[in-house]
Structure 1
Amino acid sequence: MRSAAENAVYFQQCGQLLNILSNAKRLQVVLTLANGEQSVTHLAHEVNMSQSALSQHLAKMREAGVVRTRRQGLVVYYRLVMPEFIGLLKEVVLYLEANSKKA
């Protein structure tokens, strides 16, 4: 069982993660990276964003520990730090799709 202080830290971390993922574009980036590591150029094309706008989102995601980078020459690649989280996100998407059809 966690102490009150440990719970406070835990809930703060959960809140920070959910805050990062509450942005539609960042969520789209996460779901796109679920297919595997991608270069910034390819990722920008996939999520229909400029590289500069995407870089701002990726910086926040990297700071929150959602993604990691790998550099190969001049190309920067991004990958998810916690791929097991994707199953949960896909369930949320399926839930929303199912409920939007009921409305």
Structure 2
Amino acid sequence: MAKALISDTCESVGLHPEGVGRAVARLEVFGDGQDLAELFAAFGDPTRLRILTALSEGDLCVCDLSAALGMTASAVSHQLRLLRSLRLVRSRREGRVVYYRLDDEHVLNLLAQGEAHVRHHSRGQS
């Protein structure tokens, strides 16, 4: 049996004032979304996602990340600067070595939720 296509538009004209009111109230608290858009843009780059995933296993220095990812230290450092500016990673110095880690559990949770979502849909579930 063929699956019916669902239209992206309403078939009848009419508003649902309660729903619109809730959406407007939430949007007022949300603001313009710029900060969140920048956060998700960082997650939209495969290289940065790989760095974050590697760091989800623990602290690593640029050389460690470079070896794990098969990238130059310069390229890794460039991405780490961006990730630090977005507060997705933080650094600490031990002598002459700088180690990086995920900034907090929210970053780990975002990664875990994204991976779970992708795995869920790759198994053909909805």
TM superposition score category, shorter chain reference: 0.7 to 0.9
**1:7 pairs with 2:30:** yes
Unaligned runs of 5+ in 2: 1-24
Shift >4 Å, 4+ stretches: none
CA RMSD of aligned residues (A): 2.3
Considering fraction of residues, name the structure with more helix: 1
Who is 2:101 aligned against? 79
Checking the alignment, whether the CA contact within 8 Å between 2:91 and 2:98 is kept in structure 1 is yes
One-letter identity of the residue aligned with 2:38: Q
Q: Distance in 2 between matches of 1:98 and 1:38?
A: 29
TM-score, with length taken from structure 1? 0.81
Whole-Å separation in 2 of the counterparts to 1:23 and 1:93 = 14
- The corresponding residue for 2:74 is 52
Percent identity over the alignment is 29
User: Which has the higher Rg, Structure 1 or Structure 2?
Assistant: 2
Give yes or no for contact 2:102–2:108 (8 Å, CA) kept in 1. no
How many residues get paired? 101
Q: Which structure 1 segments of 5+ residues have no match?
A: none
Post-superposition shift, 1:95?
3.2
TM-score by length of 2: 0.68
Q: Tell whether the 8 Å contact from 1:39 to 1:77 is kept in structure 2 after alignment.
A: yes
Q: CA deviation at 1:2?
A: 6.5
Distance 1:3 1:88 in 2: 21
Indicate which of 67, 91, 102 corresponds to 1:69: 91
Q: Which moved more, 1:48-57 or 1:85-94?
A: 85-94
